[in-house]
Structure 1
């Protein structure tokens, strides 16, 4: 359970900033409530992170978005609400059990037709998009899936995102464990390596935010 996401964070300043900025629809709030009762609720993206992503999508005029790691669908819902009527969210996950939780909320919000769900390993789906000639066809990617896969997803998304597009990574602070030398678990090591790689990657401009559980924004040159 991430202590840094707003729904777990008791820091008065975090509570204050969320109270004075978060704008969720009733459907989004109810999907969050259902998800927070789930045994794997810690996988829910922080609403403040999803809202920032949505704002960035609108600022860059995004119409085609990758959502790598769907869980119960809060990130896909947020993205779909931010896109124009002809927008597309390509939602990648391996679990129908989890994604089925979100489908009724997508329908209720009137955005289900914008969300194209792909149930398969994300790396396979991303490579399929590349093979189909969709290089440079996407505007924004949100990566919030298995951490050991982040680097592969990044390289695929760099091909699929247009110049001027954005790739956002969630959980890049990993409950602070990225700076804990005693934590040598596979996920933590993978995130440390990714963070080091992104810092010097000249294919992008970068902002690494101490926000939620760590949000890294990569702006493709």
Structure 2
């Protein structure tokens, strides 16, 4: 029998997260499968001064897979920005699917709106120009809304992630998924605070607190995925 030896040590995680590897992943399996209309919106977003806030396309690819596995039809998006993840969700839900999209900054949404219209999915979207918490609270005032949504995606103010979670976990059905973006916060969650630039420290603290709290939530199954800037995927089980 051939003697196949195993490597003495695991691969260096820093190498696995290198820019070169990310480039390989994007060019090999993400960009070739990215819908042309999504690519157009992603390119348009680069002109925005905060273009880095757009959803990473590899995160988008995973989201699309989750939406299809769930056969998601009724979804919520907290934090829209220019609408890359919103358009992606609309493209991966049925013709009669519905998305409640919440963001107080309609100006950024207007950048993505022409692409949403071009893709003929505007009829699926209920865009509400508002902070998310009042809208989520209003939804919960009607008991008929509880446990009826298939999927939610959150990419918004990190100081409110737990507040969003407490509401979304009630709105999402058993077996449904809530996904939270940026839960690695640029990798700063793994660094001592003194090594983190001052502007990032406050939201790093919020992110650390959220990550700790969500890991202890017995209402869900959890996968903390090192993709993009960190994606925490929560499946409601009770």
| Length-normalised TM-score, structure 2 | 0.86
Which of 64, 70, 76 pairs up with 1:60? Answer: 70
Q: Does 1:69 align with 2:85?
A: no
**Could you tell which deviates more after superposition, 87-96 or 175-184?**
175-184
Which of 187, 191, 215 pairs up with 2:231? Answer: 215
Distance 2:39 2:18 in 1: 19
Specify the alignment match of 2:222 in structure 1. Answer: 206
How big is each residue's C-alpha offset from its partner over 1:159-210, in whole Å with a ceiling of 9 and x where there is no partner? 1000000010100000111122224832111110111111121110000011
Specify the alignment match of 2:175 in structure 1. Answer: 164
Specify the alignment match of 2:29 in structure 1. Answer: 21
Residue 11 of structure 1 and its aligned partner are, at CA, apart by 1.8
Q: Give 3-state SS (helix, strand or coil) of 1:110's partner.
A: coil
Which of 32, 35, 40 pairs up with 2:42? Answer: 32
Q: Does 1:173 align with 2:184?
A: yes
Q: Does 1:117 align with 2:127?
A: yes
Q: If you compute each CA radius of gyration, which structure gives the higher value, 1 or 2?
A: 2
How big is each residue's C-alpha offset from its partner over 1:41-92, in whole Å with a ceiling of 9 and x where there is no partner? 1110101101211110110111011111000011100000000111011111
RMSD (Å), alpha carbons = 1.3
Specify the alignment match of 1:5 in structure 2. Answer: none
Gaps of at least 5 residues in structure 2 are 1-16
**Could you tell which deviates more after superposition, 128-137 or 156-165?**
128-137
Gaps of at least 5 residues in structure 1 are 1-8
Large movers: runs of 4+ above 6 Å: none
Q: Give 3-state SS (helix, strand or coil) of 1:45's partner.
A: coil
Distance 1:123 1:21 in 2: 36
Residue 27 of structure 1 and its aligned partner are, at CA, apart by 1.2
Query: Going by fraction, where is helix more abundant, 1 or 2?
Result: 2
Aligned length: 213
Q: Give 3-state SS (helix, strand or coil) of 2:29's partner.
A: coil
Distance 1:60 1:177 in 2: 32
Residue 150 of structure 1 and its aligned partner are, at CA, apart by 0.5
Highest RCO, 1 vs 2 (Cα 8 Å, sep ≥ 6): 1
Distance 1:99 1:192 in 2: 29
